[in-house]
Amino acid sequence: MKNIFVITLLSFVIFSCSNSESNNNTEGKTTAAQTSTHDDHAGHDHAGHSHDEPKHHTASPLSQYMGIWFYAAATHKRDYYKDRWIEFKGDGTFENGVGGKQTNSGTWSLEENSKYINFDFKDNSVEEDEQWKVQLNPPVLLLLGNAPRNTSGAQIKLNKVEERPKG
């Protein structure tokens, strides 16, 4: 009986040691496999920061308005608006003029909720400050004279153009 106990005990010790060596070899192989497929960028969040992909920024609601607009039609003062243009800039300023000549400048702002556009002209002896209700459907901008500071009822259609008129 004693011999059976000793043999069982020795078998258990030998079996345990061989399993331990086998596990060590398996762990070594796993580590080697992990090392061979190791990603130098692992642990870094590169989502959206690839050098090959363009970065995207949310555009300002004002970006649709920026650019040069040519006065195409008006219901009032048609002669006044003939050959006129206005250029909205991203910094909230504008320049306007007739033909190839700049006649005034100033600042502009848009009340996003009410869709009122405000023009604050630098030289009020040339043009007085204005407020218009706007409807935008690029490349067309409509100025409507039904705003709190402009109850004229006038309507003006502007078309977006690539460059200022010459001449």
Asked if 125 and 41 count as a contact pair (C-beta separation under 8 A), the reply is: no
Q: What is the DSSP letter of 150?
A: B
Q: Per-residue pLDDT for 25 more than 60?
A: no
User: Could you tell me which CATH number the domain at 62-161 has?
Assistant: 2.40.128.270
Share of the chain above pLDDT 90, in %: 60
pTM of the model: 0.65
**What Cα–Cα distance (Å) separates residue 114 from each residue in 97, 111, 118?**
27, 6, 12
**Out of 22-26, 46-50, 95-99, 125-129, least confident range:** 22-26
Q: Could you give the residue ranges of the DSSP H alpha helices within the chain?
A: 2-36, 78-81
Q: Whole-angstrom Cα distance, residue 81 to residue 75?
A: 10
What confidence tens digit (pLDDT) does each residue in 72-93 have?
Answer: 999 999 999 999 999 999 999 9
Structural contact between residues 155 and 141, judged by C-beta atoms closer than 8 angstroms: no
Q: Which of 8-12, 127-131, 144-148 has the lowest mean pLDDT?
A: 8-12
Instruction: Name the residue ranges covered by the structural domains of the chain.
Output: 62-161
pLDDT at 56: 74
* pLDDT (tens digit per residue) in 36-62: 454 555 555 555 555 677 887 777 888
Q: Given pLDDT bands bounded at 50, 70 and 90, which one contains residue 161?
A: very high
